[in-house]
Amino acid sequence: MRYERSSALFAQAKRVIPGGVNSPVRAFKAVGGTPIFIQEAKGAYLFDEDGNQYIDFISSWGPLILGHGYQPVVQAVQDQAEKGTSYGIPTELETKIAELAITMAPNIDKIRFVNSGTEACMSAVRLARGFTDREKIIKFSGCYHGHSDAFLIQAGSGAVTFGSPNSPGVTQGTAKDTLLATYNNVDSVAQLFKANPDEIAAIIIEPVAGNMGCIPPEPGFLESLRYLCDQNGAVLIFDEVMTGFRLAAGGAQQLLGVDADIVTYGKVIGGGLPVGAFAARDEIMDVLAPVGPVYQAGTLSGNPLAMASGLAMLTALHEQQEVFHRLADKTAYLHQGIEDILAKSRIDYQINRFGSMISLHFTDTPVKDFASAAKGDNQTFKKYFHGMLKRGVYLPPSAFESYFLNDATSYKDLDTTLEAFSETLKEL
């Protein structure tokens, strides 16, 4: 494949945008080379500025469950744009999507829309602190909840790519209130509660991690977190920015059978447009302004374009819940195909999968937390990424990311992907 146009656009972008990108993982720092620039996308495919076509395995980092350019979503955005793009005043759309989301997701009574997953998680922590009148939170090494200061004490994904898990600009005062635990390790959490009695407001966690690759929770792990929160008067926050309305209509809460106190959502709830939300039962949400004292606001919150797009997306998912089974089946098919090919090689590997999330790790150690994910052979991953890219398969450009399938991906696309993988493996 040729990338002359993308290379020229990247050089141009670097003159006016830091690093040439508006989110660090896009810069290809983890894999080397020049990022491709996308001109358009449709269904399961991306088309770059050089005319190359790719099967897309990131789906805009999760939200495009039904594929790019899903017509009901596109039509809803077009119809709303004709009526106006932003008001900063309430609309009926906000109530309609709120009612639908609450119907689909378990254990929530009210929802507040914001503008991003980062803002949703930041607001959820503030709400938990206000509700409990405590300051400390527990997060897990490798889990990523956006770039708010409280979450960048040790992060996964882009921060790991750049080798700076403790980000400059985060104050020591903020750091002291964020306690770090190990994913899938209940003892590490119990010890923090013991060392900080009556000080911990909340645990925040990705119920299925997606920012150190896909890492499912081990049996009993989330149930133990629920128990520890109940015993210690803390709030359990599920960051479902990736998993919400993707793994099931009710997200990870429904699929795993564990209720969180506060749940955060991301771009799925806006049909892929910039949006986020956080939700909880009445007694927690009623602490939020204008009802209660915990302040949170946003001029563009509940933006009508995002609400129209999200309502169309959630309506489709609500009416077509078989999509979650189809996606899980397709992901299992991909998993088995990769497994069959790798089993004939001498390469060390681990494949993690949960629903429509999957990741491949080049290591002989089971990947169950950030430390084990970091043991992967990044040089092999770089060759793997570029081998697949030149064969028309776009994967996350970092070993610390989950792949996200979308329903527009056909079994023929999966077979093409497996053929590309087999050819790439010969170069590793």
Enumerate the active-site residues: 144, 239, 267
Q: Is the dihedral of CA 96, 97, 100, 106 positive or negative?
A: negative
Which residues lie below 8 Å from residue 167, measured CB to CB, with a gap of 6+? 147, 152, 155, 159
Q: How far apart are CA 139 and CA 182, in angstroms?
A: 8
Number of H helices, E strands in the chain: 15, 14
Please name every residue paired with 178 in a beta bridge, in sequence order, or none if there are none. 137
Token pair 């920012």 is found at 211
The tokens describing 353, both together, are 């999968």
Q: How many CB atoms lie within 10 A of CB 381?
A: 21
- Which residues 6+ apart lie within 8 Å of 239 measured at CB? 117, 121, 143, 145, 204, 205, 206, 207, 264
- What Cα–Cα distance (Å) separates residue 66 from each residue in 70, 246, 247, 275? 6, 10, 13, 17
CA distances from 224 to 204, 230, 258, 263 (A): 14, 10, 10, 18
Burial string for 17-30 (b: 16+ CB within 10 Å, else e) reads eeebbeebbbbbbb
For tokens 């810069």, the residue is 27
Closest CA to 310 of 101, 33, 161, 2: 101
- Alpha carbon distance 211, 402 (integer Å): 7
- A 10 A CB-CB count for 322 gives 9
Sign (positive/negative) of CA torsion 209, 212, 215, 217? negative
| 119, 150, 205, 396, 410 from 211: Cα distances, Å | 17, 17, 11, 11, 26
